[in-house]
Each structure stands twice: as C-alpha cells, then as structure tokens.
Structure 1
C-alpha cells in the first residue's frame, strides 16, 4: 500500500465526499482520484516514466495535490520546491535533483527563461494558471516555448482509468531538500513506505477521521504540511480546507464557515492568531485539536492561546529525514506544556550521549530516531548519509531530554548551543523567559563572540510597547535566569526574519551581526 493507492481505495468507498474545498471550488474524492489518474496518464504521454524526477514549484492549491499524487501514481519521484526561492536556489535543486519535468505557475516563465541554458535536461515545463495577468512569452526563446505545456492540456490528454506501474515500498517517492543552513541543501530521499507509514500512523495517532475538516495553510511543499495536513487527512477520508497563504483573518473565517475541526501551524502562526484583534473564541469553537510543530512553541504562547480560544494545542516533533513526525503529545493522556510528547506508534525515539549510549531520564543528549519513516538517505551524498544514519538510527542534531513518563523535550539545536565561560546556555530557555514578559510578541536568542567568556547571549525582540527599554528586560531576565544566561544586550526589531513556514531564523540574525562588524 502507498498513499496514492490508498487515495484510490478511499475514492471507491467515499466517492461523493468532499476531498477538498479551495476558494469556492469543491472536489469529491471520486473527482480527485480521476484527476490524479488523468494527470499521471498525461505525464506518461509526455514521456515521463517510473523513476523520473518531477519538481513542483507550486503554492497551496489543487494543482499541487493533483501533481503530487499523479506523479507518484506513475512511479515518478517528486521534488517539492519553495516557489519563492531565487533562481540560483531553484537552479541548484533542479540540477542536483536531476529533474526531467517541472510543474509550476505561469508566473514561473521568466524564471524558466533565466535558468533555461543551465538546465538542458529539463524536457517539459507544465504551466498552471495562476489567475494573475498573463505572462508575456513573446520574448521567450522558441526552444523553451516548445517545452511548455499547460496543466489543463496534460490533464485533458490523460485517461481516468490509468492504474500505473507496480510500486515497491522502497522506491523513492519524494526528495525533500533541507534548508541548507550549514551549506548546500541536501536532498532527503523518502520512499513510498516512508510516506505511507508516517501518514497512516499520524492519522491514527491524532484520530483524524472522515468527519474531520483540516485547515491546510502550512506550505504544501514543506514536509510538516505534506504529511500532517495533506496526506494524513486524505488517508482516512478527511476534507482539506486549502488556504493559499496564511492570513489570521482568513483562518478565523474559514474555521467559522466550514466548522473546521483541526488546525496545524507553526508557533509564529499561533502568535499571529493570538495577537489578531478581531479573533474570537467563537470562531474556533468547532476545533477539536490544534497541532504545533516546525519549531519549539514557547510555553507562555501555548498557554495564552489555549486560555483565549479554549482549544487544546498538541505540540509534536519531526524532521524532513523522518517523513517527518516522530513524536506527538497523546490525546488520551495529559498534554505537557513544553513537551513534544511521546513516540508515535511504530517509531522509537531515544536520547544518547556522544558515544551513542542512552542517557538517564532528564539528562540532556542528542535525540535519535528509528522507524519505518526514516529516509533511505541523502540523494547522491553517501558520506552525509553515513554520518546521519548509524545502525539504523537517524541522528537528528537536536538536543533533548526525556522524563520518567516518556515525554520528550527539545532543549535546542546542537549547533545553536551558546557556550558562556564553559557553561551551556540553551537559547530556548532564555526565549521562554522573555516570552513570559507581557509586552513581548516575538523573541530570538543567539550566541555572539565575547573576548572574555568566549560567547555571550544576545536577544532580539519584537515588543508591543514602544517605550519598553533594554535595561528593563535585562532586569526581568535576572529575576528568572542564572547570571551567565542573562542576555548581555537586547535588540528591538519591528519583525524577526522567518522562512516560508514562519519559523524564526536565528542564523539569519547571527549572520547579520557578523556582517555589521
């Protein structure tokens, strides 16, 4: 079984049930399954075969869902790419990923022009209508234009009866390129078995059923959305409420209009919803569950959100290399604020020291993971694969601890650890204290060079109170933190840098500091 065959089975059982709603458009499971088969068949007519690589440069839309499942149905490998990346960033992924075809919005045409000469192996550009003013193609070279097909024509040329080849669970289904904070992005190869096991296990663990209506506003090209808010609901007949881009006002309206039952977001989204002046608890009263992931959620934010909107927030943990989910707070036991929860079914997590030995409860070490969700390796990077996977265990690079009851806690990223005079300072601990201040909206903490102590703690904050002063916040920190953990300086910013999923980019702040020296 794989996610595309499961979709077909669901369509046979629940054919008339809505699979998704999108900007006034509704598709049933039968319609979605037929579109997936037609797109897969249309790709075959273009010469795309099992094992070929197809990149998706798409935002949240039915185009993404149909392209993803269609390519997987014919056995192609899908490479989702953030469409707002620069030409150089996209070009690297398309070249490194040996891409044969690209599916993207019509707004992609100028980008394709710029990259065309460097990417001769791309045989087809499949263009989706964006609804924006048409891009002028008169200046594009004839060779490029000959490679362009419309998404509509590819879909129309296919057969709804197309079944596709036999797929093995170890066949590569998706290659997800990591953010590349320490160098060039690495392509994590996820198999059909990886994707299916994690989608089913997450769906069962969170009790996502056919009655659920899941707000899908996280970027579909990101693994968090891909599994939790797209694949998992479709496995059990749930309905996707597809939102093109996150907007607090729109989330409240969609939750109210469609009586949404599940919302998945990153902590920044929850912060925006909490701060939205017109947000009301009544708008979210249909939600039975809110899911947070992608970054650690400050405890103060979690508790304030739950208090205001009277809905439970369950924090989880995952990474691209694990498809991604390894932990979630259980629904049948208490939710522990600040915890990423317990190992989901079929997945093992443990905390180890530098020798790979499991450490006692509440001792900090590196989190490692094992299960059917763990990637087969990095594409064309055997050395990096060997460094990440040892004896079947995936080394996450995250520092964590586990309590006596089996609840895991992320302490911080290994590479974000700040060493002040030989003492370990975990940025998240300092951030939690600052988040508890009533006037703070957002926080990021980094380590900066210090001539006396090696490193010092520096904080960046966004405040809702213009007159708030650095001295006041430092005194506040002194009340709650050991002296060596207190920030040596605090910068006030209008906003913090974030990636497309809303995750705050500590490294970007650190790089900016180095550039100004």
Structure 2
C-alpha cells in the first residue's frame, strides 16, 4: 500500500478531525483530502506522471502539505529543497533531479531566476504574478476525481537532498515503504498516541520535517505550522493548540526554553519531546525538563538515508547516550578506517571506539543515492551502510556517538577522537561551544586545533591549555596545540557543524 492510500484511509476514518492549522486557516481531514484531490487532478492534466519529479522550494505552509500529498497520490516524486542552499547548489539539484515541475514562493523566486534548465519545467507559484501558473489556479481548476496511478510500495516517494556540509548535496531517494516504515517506527519509538498534535517547525525538506507530517497523518493527528520559526509565536501555539508532542533540533529547543515567554505557559498537554540532528548539552536537557515537564524525552539518532539507527529514552540518566537500535534496526561497530575500507566483520570490543555501520535489511533503508553510484559504493558495502560516525558501546549495550571518521585526527601515529577533547574543554566554565579538528602539520601529520566560543573574551589559550594539562581524562598528546577564538560555530539549519566554514582568525598557539 502506498502513502496516498494511507491518507485516504485516514480521511475516511476521522473526516471531521482537524488535520492542519496555519494561523487562522484550519482544514479537517475531509476538507484537506478534497483540496489535495483537486490539485492532483490539475497536476495530472498538466502532464505530471508516475515517478516524475516535483521540485519544491517552499517554507512549511498548508500549500506545501497539499502539494506533497497530491504528488504521493499520483505516484510522482516530491523533491523539497533547502531554501538556504547556495544558488550553485540549487542549480546542481535542478540539473540532478530533472524536475518536471518547480513549485516556489516569493521568498524563493530568486533561487530559480537565473537557473539554467536543460529542459524547462513548468513553474508553479504560490503567490500571484509569478511563474506559469499559480497554486490557486491549480486548486480552482481541479476536480475531486483524477485517474489513479498504479503505485508500488517500492516506488520512490521522495528525494531528500542532504545538507551538504562538504561537497555538493546528494539526492536520497526514499520509497513509499521506507517512508511508512520510518514513520511507524517514529510513532512507536517516541510513544506517540492516536490524535496527537505536533508542531511542523522543522522544514519539510528535512527528514525530521517529513516524519512529523507523516506521523500525524497516520495517527489522525493535527499538524500545526508557521512558515518561519519564531520562538515566542511557537510557544503560544504549543499552549493554544494543546500540542502533545514535539520533534525539534536542539537549537530550536534552546530558543524556546530560553525565551522570556516560556514562563507564561504551563504546557500541561505536552507529553513527549524528541530531538535529533545534533547533540544536546546536559544543561539544555535539564532546562527542557524544567520548562516542559515531559513524560517522555527521546534522543533520535539516524540519517536521511536510513531514518533510525538508535534511540535513547533515558537521557537524563545517561546524557549524550544514543541508546539502542531502533524498531527495524541492527548496528555494528567496526575498526575505523580513515584511509582504508573497514570490514563489517572487524568488530571492536565493547568500550572501544569504532565506526558505526547499519544493516541495510531495514525497511527504513534507502537503496542508493540519486545519480551517484560512486557515493553509493562508498556508503554501502556488503549489506551495511557506513555512517562515517564513530562511537562506542557501554556495559549496558547503549551506544555513544563521539565524532566522525573523517574528523579523526592522526597525530604522531596516534588516533585522536576530537569529541574526547571537546568534552573536556566544555567543562571549563567560560567555554560556551567548542569544535576540535585536525590541521595538517609537517612534523606530526596533523595538529590538534580547538575552535572555541567563550563567554568571557579575556580567556586565553594559555588558560585553556593549563586546564587541559590538569584534566585527568585527557592524555598529554591529545591536548590542542592551537586555539582559535570565534564568535559562533557555523552550523546548518539542522544544527550540524559546517566544518568547511571554520576559519583560523584570532588563533593562539600553545
């Protein structure tokens, strides 16, 4: 069964349940289903066929959701693009995916204005006066009856482009089965319930955004959205709409709980908090408990390629823990190889750091990158997906993620894991954030360098070096040899560190 059928089942099950809210606009499942069908009819009349790509350059809004479900019902492929991508990356995605339609809004019009198309797509604008046709024309000219496509659960449902912290974004095709399995796993792993209500705060171009949308539909829940993330506005929405579950990045949680308006509300209906995309500090975990008082608080560790790796639901007792494999999942830790290919049989003992690899038999697993057989061969070997992440398993069989293989520092013949050093430096009471990397060095091969955001500008490299020297958890050879003081750590919208944007101004050698 494909996702479009699932939506129809949901609409028939609770037709009068509120499905989506944006400001003063509210759609029941019956109303939403009718508009989806009208838009699907118009898209089909314009020539959208099975497995054609629809590129979407939209913020989270009701029209985005309707386009998504219309595309699913027609068996086409929904391809949302991060509006924050550079124009060159947008150009790359347009050429790579060969979109038949591009849907955009006023704020994203500039991203396609100078794009060179090999074969020009039909341009659909959410707002009047732009493009070949507007969304309102699609809706108004449509009929609730369209010709159903023959869709298989293994057909591609979406192509999600990775954020591209290094190199060009890669397209990740995900089937209807992948998306359904991932959403059902999310529901179970996060203790969601029938008729739940959530915020659609994470943009739909991200796997977290898609998951929030699908989980609510499968539960006949309510999806509450606003095109832009404003902490004060979202706090009010959580209270007024009686939101029961949240799935956000740590950065979003930070902005919510440290807003002055967080003290106004009681959040009595909020049961579940889930985070992903980046680590969450213990201080932020405690603050979230203090403000929201959740019954469940889950760390989800996964990727666009395979939605779930592991989940942890006892983060208060084990901060930083990624937990155990998810509902459909099996993982291994193998001897890491920065310049060689590790074997899935080269397992590391519990307690030792290894590369995390994930079983490709999972229903949540993609089959390979779009138009990138080279990247597929690198990522998938002998039935396992190589995450590139480093971690270890503790005595309770729980996973802890400590860094990336390509971030592992090889200095003087020693393997140094940056997160071990960063966690020590973060204990200094004047350090706000830190990233540790390896820089090329003639003598050592690589030199340990710490990029630091400090609370007090008077903090010096010598002070931090002395702190590291005296710390019992840090060996002498692991100490940074250079400190770079920067105003903030560059990150993607999902909270991932953008290593290529780290710079070396204001550095101090030790």
User: What's the TM-score once normalised by structure 1's chain length?
Assistant: 0.88
Post-superposition shift, 1:368? 1.5
CA distance in 2, matches of 1:128, 1:67: 11
Deviations 1:143-193 (A, max 9, x none): xx5xx1101111222222336212111111111222334433221111111
2:338 matched residue in structure 1: none
Tell me which residue corresponds to 1:194: 178
What's the CA shift string for 1:84-112, capped at 9, x where partnerless? 32322111101111111101113444443
Among 155, 175, 180, the alignment partner of 1:171 is 155
**Pairwise CA distance, 1:53:** 0.9
For residue 432 of structure 1, what is the aligned residue in structure 2? 423
Matched residue, 1:349:
331
User: 1:303 and 1:439 mapped to 2: Cα distance?
Assistant: 19
Q: Which residue of 2 aligns with 1:212?
A: 196
Task: Specify the SS of the correspondent of 1:320.
Answer: coil
Kept after mapping to 2: 8 A contact 1:460/1:492 = yes
Matched residue count = 495
Task: Please state whether the residue corresponding to 2:235 is helix, strand or coil.
Answer: helix
1:511: how far off? 8.5
Distance 1:439 1:297, change over 3 A: same
Aligned in 2, Cα 1:270/1:419: closer, same or farther, shift over 3 Å? farther
1:233 alignment partner in structure 2: 216
SS at match of 1:8: helix
Summarize the alignment of residues 65-464 of structure 1 with structure 2, pairs less than 5 Å apart: 65-115=65-115, 118-129=116-127, 148-162=132-146, 164-227=148-211, 229-280=212-263, 282-307=265-290, 309-311=292-294, 313-322=297-306, 324-330=307-313, 336-353=318-335, 354-357=342-345, 358-370=347-359, 371-464=362-455
C-alpha displacement at 1:377, in angstroms? 1.1
8 Å contact 2:262–2:291 — kept in the other structure? no
Residue matched to 2:56: 56
Cα distance in 1 for residues equivalent to 2:264 and 2:424: 26
Alpha-carbon displacement from aligned partner over 1:183-219 (angstroms, at most 9, x marks no partner)? 3322111111111111112112212223322122112
CA distance in 2, matches of 1:461, 1:283: 36
Question: For 1:488, which of 477, 481, 488 is the aligned residue?
Answer: 481
Are residues 446 and 513 of structure 1, via their aligned partners in 2, closer, same or farther at CA, if it must alter by over 3 Å?
Answer: farther
> More displaced, 350-359 or 371-380?
350-359
Q: Structure 1 residues 387, 277: CA separation in 2 closer, same or farther (over 3 Å shift)?
A: same
Quote the offset at 1:442 in angstroms: 2.8
- Seen in structure 2, the aligned counterparts of structure 1 residues 478 and 260 have a Cα distance that, compared at 3 Å, is farther
The equivalences for 1:472-483 within 5 A come to 472-480=463-471, 481-483=474-476
Q: Are residues 1:34 and 2:34 paired?
A: yes
Q: CA, structure 1 residues 475+291, in 2 after alignment: closer, same or farther (shift >3 Å)? A: farther
Gaps of 5+ in 1: 138-144
1:507 aligns with 2:489: no
What per-residue deviation string (whole Å, max 9, x for no partner) do you get for residues 104-142 of structure 1? Answer: 113444443311xx204233111012xxxx77x6xxxxx
Q: SS in structure 2 opposite 1:83?
A: coil
Q: Does structure 2 retain, via aligned residues, the 8 Å contact 1:169–1:193?
A: yes
* Residue 275 of structure 1, CA deviation: 4.0
TM-score, with length taken from structure 2:
0.89
1:37-91 Cα distance to aligned partner (Å, 9 max, x none): 2221111010111111110111111122111111111011121111232322111
Q: Tell me, which stretches of 5 or more residues in structure 2 are unaligned?
A: 336-341
Of the structure 1 ranges 274-283 and 167-176, higher mean CA displacement relative to structure 2 is found in 274-283
Q: For residues 417 and 472 of structure 1, what CA distance do their matches in structure 2 show?
A: 25
Deviations 1:470-494 (A, max 9, x none): 4333333334322233333333333
Alpha-carbon distance in structure 1 between the residues aligned to 2:36 and 2:506: 48
Deviation of 1:315 (Å): 1.0
Partner of 2:10: 10
The CA RMSD measured in Å over matched residues stands at: 2.6
Structure 1: how far apart are the matches of 2:71 and 2:479?
51
Of 94-103 and 218-227, the range deviating more from structure 2: 218-227
Change (3 A) 1:334 1:266: closer
1:200 partner SS: helix
